[in-house]
Amino acid sequence: MDKTILIIEDDAEINDMLRVLLRQNGYSTVSAYSGTEGLLAHGSGISLILLDLMLPGRSGEDIIRELKQKHSVPVVVMSAIHDVSKKVDLFSLGADDYITKPFHNDELLARIAVRLKAGSSGEAAAAADDLTYKNIVLSRDDYSVTCCGKAVELSKHEFELLRLLMENPARTCTKSMIYDKVWDYENSADDNTLNVHISKLRKKLKECDPDTEYIETVWGIGYRLKK
């Protein structure tokens, strides 16, 4: 099945029960016991999130949007709240489904299967918006970058610079081309500005993948991805 589900549930017994249930049904799992821990555990390897609302510190409601922004996968909320208006509010925050505690295991498994199937139907389209090179994955859909599975926080120009290089993996991007595509010939664009952005980009990629060089300089011409 090769799907990993992130369980964000502070009750250790319930968390463990869910972990066992999901693994018995062919899923891999990652467990977190608070919203903050869940955000740290969430990444490109997660296919779906089971999220308890009543969490210590920051509530599930507070972190739904952040989970979606970090990596958008289906979020199934688990709570004892029966209020319909409350459920509607959760959907507006970004939740994809809601199951009321206590729930039957078969119902939970069915909801998970439905959400994963719905998500997979859009994966092919999303994949077309992903660029990959060695250990880098750049999403043109949500403007995110990961390297070795770790999120890389880039500025707008750094992102556009990396995107340009990854869209042209077999060619050298000249300085003129970079100024045109990345800076649109803004007055602020010059050799020094470009050098600073390349340096920062290299440093951020190196922090995630110390053993790999991704960008090489073609002296007097521009830059290209290192083969």
The closest alpha carbon to 215, from 170, 167, 162, 179, belongs to: 162
| Domains parsed from the chain with CATH numbers | 4-121 (3.40.50.2300), 128-225 (1.10.10.10)
Give the residue, 44 or 178, on which the prediction is more confident.
178
Threshold 0.75, pTM exceeds: no
Class of residue 95 by CB neighbours under 10 A (exposed 0-12, middle 13-18, buried 19+): buried
User: pLDDT per residue over 48-79, tens digit each?
Assistant: 999 998 888 887 788 888 898 888 889 999 98
| pLDDT recorded at residue 93 | 78
| pLDDT recorded at residue 83 | 61
- Residue 28 — very low, low, confident or very high, per pLDDT cuts 50/70/90? very high
User: pLDDT per residue over 162-174, tens digit each?
Assistant: 999 998 888 899 9
User: pLDDT per residue over 88-129, tens digit each?
Assistant: 677 777 888 888 888 899 999 999 998 888 766 555 444 556
Helix-helix angle 12-24:105-121, to 10 degrees? 60
| pLDDT recorded at residue 13 | 95
Q: Long-range contacts for 128-136 (Cβ within 8 Å, ≥24 apart)?
A: 131/163, 131/166, 131/167, 132/166, 133/166, 133/169, 133/214, 133/225, 134/209, 134/212, 134/214, 135/208, 135/209, 135/212, 136/162, 136/166, 136/205, 136/214
Q: How far apart are CA 50 and CA 11, in angstroms?
A: 13
| pLDDT recorded at residue 169 | 87
Q: How far apart are CA 30 and CA 46, in angstroms?
A: 8
